[in-house]
Amino acid sequence: MMTNKLLNTLVYKQGHILLLLVFLLAILAVPVSLLAQEKSSTTTVKPARTPMPAAPQLNAKSYFLQDFQSGTILAEKNADLRVDPASITKLMTSYVVFNELKQGKLALTDISTISEKAWRTEGSRMFIEVGKQVSIEDLIKGMVIQSGNDASVALAEHIAGTEDAFASMMNHYAVELGMTNSHFVNATGLPDPEHYVTARDIATMSTALIAEFPVYYAWYSEKEFTFNKIRQHNRNTLLWRDPSVDGLKTGHTEAAGYCLTASAIRKGMRLLAVVMGTDSQKARTADAQAMLNYGFRFFKTHQLYQADQQITEAVVWRGESEEIQLSIAEEFFVTIQRGRYDSLDARVTIDPELSAPISKGQALGKLQVFLDGEEIGSRPLLAMSDIAEAGFFGRSYDSIRLWVGGLFGDSDE
């Protein structure tokens, strides 16, 4: 029986060779002028591409514009320059707090007794009073909406015992998020030589906050909060100017200048703009707005593939199954200039001669996306199932097929 299969394989290969010869002869028989006519008859003239202006040039010390879903950087200046973050620090403070809530170590209804240190903390306040008991939810709103330094310290002490211990938690999460040029020594953003971030790291932190805690993130869009009969407004004036803006945070100290990180979503596309070290509240708002408008006007984000979507399949040798389906683990987004979608090119590369055993999730190839010949994104292709090794006869049969294939060319059928 094995001999018959081998003979069939050889006949099959010979048949393919004959068909190839016939095809080549047919091409040679066609006049060159006819091929030229067919090519010219299908050529189309593409419309002129929309001119792509340069990104806005801002006077800020550093800035960064990034698409939330694809991670594509649309504009930047001194993105890795270490700067004083001022109250933008509170994004990391809230990230730690939200993680405590997520892990069940903290509840919004928990009550915190306000220390004298929290009460005395200088800078912006929600006006909590020493010795009073305040709910965690009110403290979070006081920190997020009113930018209360007193609320930030109260939260830090409630969670970690001291603000110094809480800062260690902040640095732990910063490392986990890949914020390689950031370091925190307090929960408020009050100036300290060892307290710094970068515009790029702020975008990373903002992305994580939105992606991991969408319910809690909604507090960043609230325009005002009243506590102890004192009503205060959110300092992010973009919330009033641009209805697509739903967060994040402002900051200001003499050392930091005026800073703002803002996020906006229009027609399903979310952008993050970070502006550090401007000379006025008006300038930080105008600069962030200019970057957001530029990004939305000239770029568009496309979702190319779903998570766990089958992309292709491949032949497997010496396995109980002859084929394996391949997918990607996460959604695949690209951000490109508007009107360029039809110029995208996707390519799949499979590792040669895949052999069992194969484990689900094992990387077996790569999916690449190109624009004008330049790679703009890639994802590993992963096995969608396990494939166990075949028995002795199955492995032997595939070994013979591979050997014959080496003699006559590609052995895939």
Enumerate the active-site residues: 87, 90, 147
CB of 271 within 8 A of CB of 292? yes
CB of 158 within 8 A of CB of 112? yes
One-letter identity of residue 225 = F
Distance CA 404, CA 255 (A): 73
CB of 208 within 8 A of CB of 177? yes
Distance CA 54, CA 322 (A): 52
Q: What angle do CA 303, 364, 410 make, to 5 degrees?
A: 110
| Phi and psi, residue 361, nearest 5° | 90, -5
CB of 360 within 8 A of CB of 322? no
CB of 262 within 8 A of CB of 247? yes
Q: What angle do CA 307, 308, 312 make, to 5 degrees?
A: 115
Question: How distant, in Å, are the alpha carbons of 139, 157, 383 from that of 115?
Answer: 13, 8, 55
SS3 of residue 271 by DSSP: strand
